[in-house]
């Protein structure tokens, strides 16, 4: 996704306890294909007067041909299988051999700097190859889907949109409704194909692997591990418990009246009513 926001105009403005508060908390995102159609993105502070959030306006321009974006991700390795000590050793050895650290960047030309970074990238990739497995390809979500089913689906959606358009414009819809109903009956092939594929999937298990497919259906995905590399007091945390403890202490410190001057001031104003005019 690409962020469409332009400029530095706040999308949120409010007054809290007599103090003006502004933020760019609202963002607009679009895919790399759709971003080519977004134009004149701006914050319109005059459009809505009774909201803390300012209105965002933009235009969607029609392009004759949208350039398909190519996958540029550098996610080539499965870092869950990484052996980090081996990665560190390989990377240090590769960098020393390439003599990157002895480069004097102040006297380098642009071509020489590009070569240095290419050498660094090659060192990182070679270290990854030595210490972790390659990322596997993405499996097909619907192996039973085919072009014939795709045509049925697109035709049904097109007729449904046409029926809505006729209805909104007060045009007789009897003929279009009949065509739409017939298309929906034909689309039952989508459900039948899905059901048949699932039945075939469930009947493929044999006597030797009687529980294999069942386990694939009901197995739980592994839990996401919390981060364990939080920087604290000049060092990195080593366990998830230590990380959680550091986050709690930082965002929710103990309320000590003798030490926390800010909290003592807030506590003294708890029962004070804010004088505001009636709406």
- For the stretch 253-268, pLDDT in tens is 776 666 667 777 777 7
Rounded mean pLDDT, 175-185: 83
Looking at per-residue pLDDT, the higher value among 268 and 28 belongs to: 28
In a domain, 169, yes or no: yes
pLDDT of 55 above 70: yes
pLDDT on residue 91: 92
Domain count, the chain: 4
How far apart (Å, rounded) are the C-alpha atoms in residues 192 and 114? Answer: 56
pLDDT on residue 82: 87
pLDDT digits (tens, 9 = 90+) for 87-120: 999 999 998 888 888 888 888 888 888 888 889 9
Same-domain check for residues 117 and 157: no
In a domain, 253, yes or no: yes
Which range, 60-74, 120-134, 177-191, is most confident?
Answer: 120-134
pLDDT on residue 73: 57
pTM over 0.85: no
pLDDT on residue 87: 92
Same-domain check for residues 206 and 154: yes
In a domain, 142, yes or no: no
Beta strands in the chain (DSSP E): 2-3, 12-16, 19-23, 29-30, 38-44, 55-60, 77-78, 133-134, 231-232, 235-236
User: In which band, very low, low, confident or very high, does the pLDDT at 222 lie, cut at 50, 70 and 90?
Assistant: low
Helix, strand or coil, per DSSP, at residue 42: strand
Same-domain check for residues 207 and 257: no
pLDDT on residue 134: 85
pLDDT digits (tens, 9 = 90+) for 142-155: 777 778 888 888 88
Q: What percent of the chain has pLDDT over 70?
A: 83
Instruction: Take residue 3 and report the two structure tokens written for it.
Output: 């962020």
In a domain, 212, yes or no: yes
In a domain, 76, yes or no: no
Same-domain check for residues 95 and 127: yes
pLDDT on residue 141: 64
Instruction: Take residue 20 and report the two structure tokens written for it.
Output: 């003006």
pLDDT of 133 above 70: yes
Print the domain residue range for 193: 147-218
In a domain, 275, yes or no: no
CA proximity to 227, closest of 235, 217, 237, 219? 237
Beta strands in 26-96 (DSSP E): 29-30, 38-44, 55-60, 77-78
Average pLDDT, the chain: 80
First to last CA, the chain: 41
């Amino acid at each position: 996704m690409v962020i469409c926001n332009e400029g530095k105009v706040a999308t949120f403005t409010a007054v809290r306890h007599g103090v003006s508060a502004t933020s760019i908390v609202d963002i607009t995102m679009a895919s790399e294909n759709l971003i080519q159609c977004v134009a004149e993105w701006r914050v319109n502070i005059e459009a809505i007067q009774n909201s803390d959030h300012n209105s965002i306006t933009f235009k969607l321009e029609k392009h004759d041909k949208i350039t398909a974006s190519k996958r540029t991700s550098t996610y080539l390795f499965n870092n869950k299988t990484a052996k980090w000590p081996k990665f560190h050793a390989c990377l240090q050895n590769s960098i020393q051999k390439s003599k990157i650290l002895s480069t004097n960047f102040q006297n380098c030309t642009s071509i020489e700097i590009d070569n240095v970074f290419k050498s660094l990238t090659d060192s990182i990739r070679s270290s990854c190859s030595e210490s972790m497995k390659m990322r596997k390809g993405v499996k097909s979500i619907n192996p039973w889907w085919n072009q014939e089913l795709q045509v049925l689906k697109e035709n049904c959606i097109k007729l449904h949109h046409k029926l809505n358009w006729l209805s909104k414009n007060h045009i007789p819809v009897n003929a279009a409704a009949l065509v739409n109903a017939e298309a929906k009956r034909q689309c039952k092939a989508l459900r039948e194909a899905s059901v048949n594929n699932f039945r075939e999937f469930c009947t493929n298990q044999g006597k030797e692997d009687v529980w294999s497919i069942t386990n694939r259906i009901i197995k739980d995905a592994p839990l996401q591990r919390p981060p364990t590399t939080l920087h604290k007091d000049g060092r990195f945390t080593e366990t998830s418990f230590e990380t959680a403890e550091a986050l709690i202490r930082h965002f929710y410190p103990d309320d000590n009246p003798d030490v926390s001057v800010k909290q003592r001031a807030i506590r003294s104003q708890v029962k004070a009513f804010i004088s505001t005019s009636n709406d």
